[in-house]
C-alpha cells in the first residue's frame, strides 16, 4: 500500500497564530478565537476533511524579546492575547466523532497530579482522542509569571521533564488495573479496591503518595507529541514521543532531523517507523494556478513585518528590532540571529535574502515551506516533500482561518484521496488506534510508559 | 416584588455525588459521568428549567479517613473516581445560552498565573457565564498528591488564599484596560500596548512579574462562590464571595449562618443583601403525595451506609468505621463525631437517632434537608425555608441524576413560577448580570477586586 499522508491542522488559542497581520484580512475569522462558534466550525470543517488531528500550540508567556518589551507582540497580536487551549477540547469533541486533539501543555508550570487528572478527563470525554504535546517552556516571560527570575537551563528542564514523565506514567498506567472498575450495580461494587494501587514517588523534583483520581481512560496515556530539535530534545522525543512535530522551510533542513530522530529511536529499542514525523507546511490553493497565485499575492499584502520578527525574536532570543528591514541577511552580525535567518534562507539558498524577505516568509504560516498552486500542483509538492524528507504527515499552518483549512478540505483532500495517499474514511477507535492500528489503544512495550504497569511491582507499591 | 428564589443544580464530575449507593438505581445515569452526552443532556435539562447555574463540586483527593484507607470510597464510588470539572464547561456552554457554571477549583494546588488564564478563557467561551467556587482544600490525601506530608493548617490556608486572591484580581482586573483591545483591522492594531499593564507582585507566597495573558473577558473576575463555615471562612466569604453555599439539615442550623455572614459582609462595607446565600436541599417529587413517598421509599432501598459514612468521615475527620450502625448517636464518644452527628440530628431533635439513621439521611443528597411531596407541598416547604433562613436560593442535590433534576424542571419549576417566586425567563447578560442586575457584568466597589483596576496606580505598576 502506498504510504498514507497524515494531516494535522496547526492552530493556537489566539489571533492569527503564525501569520501576523493576516488577522486584518477581511475573510480571516481568527480574531474570534475567544468565541466557541469559531472553534466548533473549525472542528467540523477538519473532520469533514478527515484531518487526523487539530494540533494546538501554546505559550504561557509573551514575545517580549523584540524591542525588549511586549509592545510589538500586543500591537500586532503576535500570539498575545493567548487563551488556554485545553478548555476548547470538550466543546469540539461534542461536535465531532473522529478528529484527534493534540494539545500543548507546558509541564514546567503544571504539577503532575492535577495535570494527569486533566488529561485523563479529556481522554474520557473525547472517547480516547486526546494527545499531549510535551513542552518544557521556552519563554523567560512565562517563568516570570510563575515567580522565577528566568526559566531553568535547557538541559535541566529536560531532566525535570524525564521525572515528570515517570510520575504521570505511574498515575496513568500504574495506579488502576484494567478490571479495577466493575460498575456492578447488582453487587453494589463500583471499583474493586485491591486493583487500585498507590503511586509512591520520591524524586529529586517531585514527591507523590496518592492513587490516580481518574479511572482508566480509553488510551490511559494520551498520544504523546514532542517537538524537540536540540540533541537533548531529540533524545527525549526518541524515548517518549509517538508523534514528532518539526518545522523548517526546506527538505534539506527536515530530512536530516527525521533521520536523526528515527536513528535515536531505534537506539532506544523502539521501532523507528512507529514514531510519526509531522513537518509544518503552509499551502495556498486555487482552482487554477492564477487563482492560487492571486490569493498568495493578496495574503502577502496583509503580512505584518514587525509581527513576524516579533515571533522570530521570541523563537531565537535575538532582538530583530535592531536590524533594518532591508539589511541583507548575511550582514546580520549576531550569530544566533544569522543562524535563524540562514535556517529560513535554506529554502532558496541562491537568492540574496533581506530581513524583510525573511519576515515575509515567516509572516505567512511561520517557518515551514509555502506551497502555492492547484490541488494537483500542491499534491505533487507534498508527494515530493514526503519522498525527500521521510515525514509521515504534515502540520498544516494557516494563512487565514478557517479559509485556508476550507480550501484544503474542499480542494486538496479530494486530490490526495484520489491518489490513494490519504484515507478515504477514518479508522475506528481511539486516536492512537487511528494512528498506529487496531488494538493499539494503549502504549505497548518497549515504550517506557508500559514499564509502569502494575504487573511490574518494582515500579508500584501495592497497597 | 416577591423575593425570587434562585436555583443551582449541585453535581460533581464523579458517580452519584452525595447519594452513595444510588448509582445502582436502574434509572440513575450518573455512572456515565465520564461521557459527554451525560453532561450535555443535563445542561440542556437545567436550562429548560431556567436554573441559574450548575454548581460543580470537586475534591483533589480521596476519602480515606473511613477505615484509614480509600477502599470504602473506591468500592462505593464515594466521590472517587473523580474527574476535572473545569473541562466539562465548554462542551455544556456550546449547547446552552443562559445556564451559569460555578466550578470548584482548589487554589492551594494551582499556580495563580495559569489559573487566571483558565478562568478568563472560560469566561470568554461561555460569554460571561463562569463562576469560581474558591476552595483551599480539606483532604490530607490531596496534599499527599502534591508532595506534602499533610495540608497546611486551616488559618494558614486562608492567609495563602487572601494573597492568591490579590494576585488573580490584579491579573483579571488590573492588567488590561477596557479599551486596550482595539481589533482595528484598518489600522492593523489589535491591542494598544500602553493600555496593558504589567502585574508586579512580590508577596510571601507568590511572586509574579507579567501581564495577564487573556484580553478582558465579559466578567473579568468570574462570579465568586465560597462555602466557608469556620469563622475564618465566613470572614473570607464576607470579603470576597458574591454567592455563598452552605449545607445543613434544618433552618435552625442555616438561619444563624446566613445572619452571621450578612453581618460580617456589612462590616466590610459591602451591601449584605448583595451576597447571595444558597443552601443545599434535596427534593423528591411526585404528582401525588403517594407517588412522592413511594419514590422516596424506593430511593432509600439503594442507600449505601458505608458510602455515606465514608463521606461523613472525610468531611469530619472522624473514622466512622469504628462505630456500630445501630449505636445511638449520643453514644458516639468522639467529640468531633458527636458534633457532626448532632448537626444532622438537628433536623429532628425529638427523635433518638442511630448512626445508621444519620447515614440514611446523608445517603440521599448529603447534609441538606430532604423534602418529599407534590409540587405544591415542596413549593410550600421551600417558601417556609426561605422565610426561616433568609437564603436567596438553593443548591439542589440529586438522589438520582438526571431524574431528580428532570422532576424539578417538569414538576416543581412550573409551580414556583406560577407563584411568582421564580423567574419566567432568564435575564439578559452575563451570569453576574443575571444574578445582580443589568449593567453589573463586572465587580464594583466596594468589592476588593475593584481596587485593583489600573485607575489606582498604587496597585499596579504601569509599564
pLDDT over 70, % of chain A: 94
What is the predicted pLDDT for the residue at B341? Answer: 74
- Enter the C-alpha cell of residue B103: 466550578
Residue-level pLDDT at B145: 72
A94 to B89: CB separation less than 8 angstroms, yes or no: no
Do the strands B189-191 and B181-184 form a parallel or antiparallel pair, or are they unpaired? antiparallel
Say yes or no for a CB contact (<8 Å) between A84 and B117. Answer: yes
- Separation between Cα atoms, residue B67 and residue B349, nearest integer Å: 29
Please compute the mean of the pLDDT values over residues B343-348 and round it to a whole number: 74
pTM as predicted: 0.95
Amino acid B343: pLDDT = 72
Residue A324: the pLDDT is 92
| Residue % of chain A over a pLDDT of 90 | 77
Report the gap between the CA of A379 and the closest CA in chain B (Å): 33
- Which of the residues B74, B99, B171 would you substitute to probe the A interface, choosing the one with the greatest number of A C-beta atoms within 10 Å? B74
pLDDT for A150: 67
Angle between helices A231-240 and A251-267 (to 10 degrees): 60
The radius of gyration of chain A's CA atoms, rounded to the nearest angstrom, is 22
C-alpha radius of gyration, chain B, whole number = 22
Chain A residues in contact with B70 (beta carbon < 8 A): 193, 196, 211
CB contact under 8 A, B191 and A91: no
pLDDT of B294-312, one tens digit each? 999 999 999 999 999 999 9
Look at residue A461 and tell me whether its pLDDT is greater than 50.
no
pLDDT at A67: 96
Asked if B35 contacts B90 with a C-beta cutoff of 8 angstroms, the reply is no
Comparing A268-272, A336-340, B99-103, B437-441, which segment has the lowest mean pLDDT? A336-340
Q: Does residue A1 fall inside a structural domain?
A: no
Contacts of B207 in chain A (CB under 8 A): 147
pLDDT of B176? 98
On whether residue A160 sits in a domain, the answer given is yes
pLDDT digits (tens, 9 = 90+) for A46-100: 999 999 999 999 998 999 999 999 999 999 999 999 999 999 999 999 999 999 9
User: Does A230 appear as a known binding residue?
Assistant: yes
Measured CA to CA in angstroms, residue B267 lies from A456, B256, B436 at distances of 60, 16, 20
Q: What is the pLDDT of residue A104?
A: 96
Among chain A residues, the shortest Cα distance to B94 is held by: A91
Neighboring chain A residues of B36 at a CB cutoff of 8 Å: 90, 93-94, 125
Q: Please report whether residue B167 resides in a domain.
A: yes
CA distances from B93 to A147, A255, B97 (A): 33, 44, 7
Assess contact for A52 and A7: CB atoms under 8 A: yes
The domain that contains B303 carries what CATH number? 3.20.20.30
The band of A1, judged by pLDDT with boundaries at 50, 70 and 90, is: low
The predicted pLDDT at position B155 comes to 67
Q: What are phi and psi of B22, to 5 degrees?
A: -70, -15
Does residue B292 lie within any of the structural domains? Answer: yes
Q: What cell numbers appear for B352 in the block?
A: 433518638
pLDDT in the model for residue A458:
42
pLDDT at position B141, please? 66
CA-wise closest residue to A73 among A232, A309, A269: A309
Say which residue, B331 or B398, is predicted with more confidence.
Answer: B398
Alpha-carbon distance B419 to B426, whole Å?
Answer: 17
C-alpha closest to that of A226 among A371, A403, A105: A105
Is residue A130 included in any domain, yes or no?
yes
pLDDT of residue B459 exceeding 70, the answer is no
In a domain, B220, yes or no: yes
**Can you point out the beta strands (E) in B121-175?**
130-135
Under DSSP, the state recorded for A354 is B
Which residues from A are below 8 Å from B213, CB to CB? 60-62, 80-83, 145
Count Cβ atoms below 10 Å from residue A126 Cβ, excluding itself.
28
pLDDT: which is higher, B353 or B259: B259
Q: What is the mean pLDDT of residues B141-152?
A: 68
Q: What is the pLDDT of residues B178-234, one digit of tens each?
A: 999 999 999 999 999 999 999 999 999 899 999 999 999 999 999 999 987 788 889
Per the domain annotation, does B399 fall within a domain? yes
Nearest to A109 among B91, B111, B122 (CB): B111
pLDDT at position B140 over 70 = no
Q: ipTM of the assembly?
A: 0.95
Q: Say whether B346 counts as a known binding-site residue.
A: no
Residue A380 neighbours by CB under 8 Å, 6+ apart: none
Contact B91 A93 (CB under 8 A): yes
Q: Which domain holds residue A334?
A: 6-460
**What's the domain count of chain A?**
1
Q: Is B181 helix (H, G, I), strand (E, B) or coil?
A: strand
The verdict on residue B201 lying in a domain is yes
Counting Cα atoms < 13 Å in the Cβ hemisphere of B421 gives: 19
Range ranked top by mean pLDDT from A137-146, A147-156, A274-283: A274-283
Q: Would you state the pLDDT for residue A151? A: 66
∠ CA B399-B403-B405, rounded to 5°: 85
Mean pLDDT over the full length of chain A: 92
Could you write out the DSSP letters of every residue in B425-438? Answer: SPPSS-HHHHHH-T
Choice among A313-317, A444-448, B152-156 with the minimum mean pLDDT = B152-156
Pairwise CA distance, residues B15 & A189, whole Å: 12
- What are the b/e assignments for B434-451, b being 16+ CB within 10 Å? bbbeeebbbbeeebbbbb
Is B124 annotated as belonging to a binding site? no
Nearest to A213 among B72, B81, B114 (CB): B81
* B185 contacts B226 by C-beta, under 8 angstroms: no
In this predicted structure, what is the pLDDT of residue A335?
A: 75
For residue B271, the SS3 value is: coil
Amino acid at each position: 500500500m502506498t504510504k498514507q499522508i497524515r494531516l494535522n491542522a496547526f492552530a493556537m488559542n489566539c489571533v492569527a497564530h503564525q501569520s501576523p497581520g493576516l488577522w486584518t484580512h477581511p475573510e480571516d475569522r481568527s480574531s474570534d478565537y475567544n468565541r466557541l462558534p469559531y472553534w466548533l466550525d473549525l472542528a467540523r470543517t477538519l473532520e469533514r476533511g478527515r484531518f487526523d488531528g487539530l494540533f494546538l500550540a501554546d505559550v504561557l508567556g509573551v514575545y517580549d524579546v523584540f524591542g525588549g518589551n511586549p509592545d510589538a507582540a500586543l500591537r500586532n497580536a503576535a500570539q498575545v492575547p493567548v487563551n488556554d487551549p485545553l478548555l476548547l477540547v470538550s466543546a469540539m469533541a461534542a461536535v465531532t466523532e473522529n478528529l484527534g486533539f493534540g494539545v500543548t501543555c507546558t509541564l514546567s508550570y503544571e504539577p503532575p497530579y492535577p495535570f494527569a487528572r486533566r488529561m485523563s478527563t479529556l481522554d474520557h470525554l473525547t472517547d480516547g482522542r486526546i494527545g499531549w504535546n510535551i513542552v518544557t517552556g521556552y519563554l523567560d516571560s512565562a517563568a516570570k509569571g510563575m515567580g522565577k527570575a528566568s526559566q531553568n537551563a535547557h538541559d535541566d528542564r529536560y531532566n525535570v521533564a524525564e521525572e515528570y514523565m515517570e510520575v504521570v506514567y505511574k498515575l496513568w498506567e500504574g495506579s488502576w488495573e484494567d478490571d479495577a472498575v466493575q460498575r456492578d450495580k447488582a453487587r453494589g461494587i463500583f471499583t474493586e479496591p485491591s486493583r487500585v494501587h498507590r503511586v509512591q514517588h520520591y524524586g529529586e523534583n517531585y514527591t507523590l503518595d496518592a492513587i490516580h483520581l481518574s479511572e482508566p481512560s480509553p488510551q490511559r496515556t494520551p498520544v504523546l507529541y514532542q517537538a524537540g530539535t536540540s540533541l537533548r530534545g531529540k533524545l527525549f522525543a526518541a524515548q517518549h514521543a509517538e508523534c514528532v512535530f518539526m518545522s523548517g522551510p526546506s527538505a534539506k533542513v527536515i530530512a536530516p532531523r527525521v533521520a536523526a530522530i528515527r536513528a535515536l529511536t531505534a537506539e532506544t529499542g523502539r521501532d523507528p517507523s512507529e514514531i510519526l514525523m509531522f513537518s509544518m507546511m503552509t499551502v495556498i490553493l486555487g482552482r487554477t494556478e492564477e487563482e492560487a497565485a492571486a490569493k498568495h499575492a493578496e495574503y502577502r499584502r496583509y503580512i505584518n513585518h514587525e509581527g513576524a520578527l516579533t515571533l522570530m525574536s521570541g523563537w531565537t532570543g535575538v532582538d530583530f528590532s535592531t536590524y533594518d528591514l532591508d539589511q541583507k541577511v548575511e550582514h546580520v552580525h549576531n550569530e544566533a540571529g544569522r543562524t535563524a535567518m540562514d535556517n529560513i534562507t535554506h529554502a532558496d539558498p541562491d537568492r540574496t535574502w533581506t530581513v524583510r524577505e525573511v519576515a515575509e516568509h515567516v509572516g505567512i504560516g511561520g517557518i515551514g515551506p509555502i506551497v502555492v498552486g492547484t490541488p494537483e500542483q500542491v499534491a505533487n509538492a507534498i508527494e515530493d516533500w514526503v519522498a525527500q524528507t521521510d515525514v509521515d504527515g504534515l502540520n498544516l499552518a494557516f494563512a487565514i482561518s478557517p479559509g485556508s483549512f476550507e480550501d484544503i478540505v474542499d480542494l486538496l483532500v479530494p486530490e490526495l484521496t484520489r491518489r490513494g495517499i490519504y484515507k478515504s474514511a477514518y479508522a475506528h477507535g481511539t486516536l492512537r488506534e487511528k494512528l498506529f492500528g487496531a488494538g493499539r489503544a494503549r502504549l505497548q512495550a518497549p515504550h517506557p510508559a508500559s514499564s509502569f504497569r502494575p504487573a511490574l511491582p518494582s515500579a508500584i507499591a501495592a497497597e
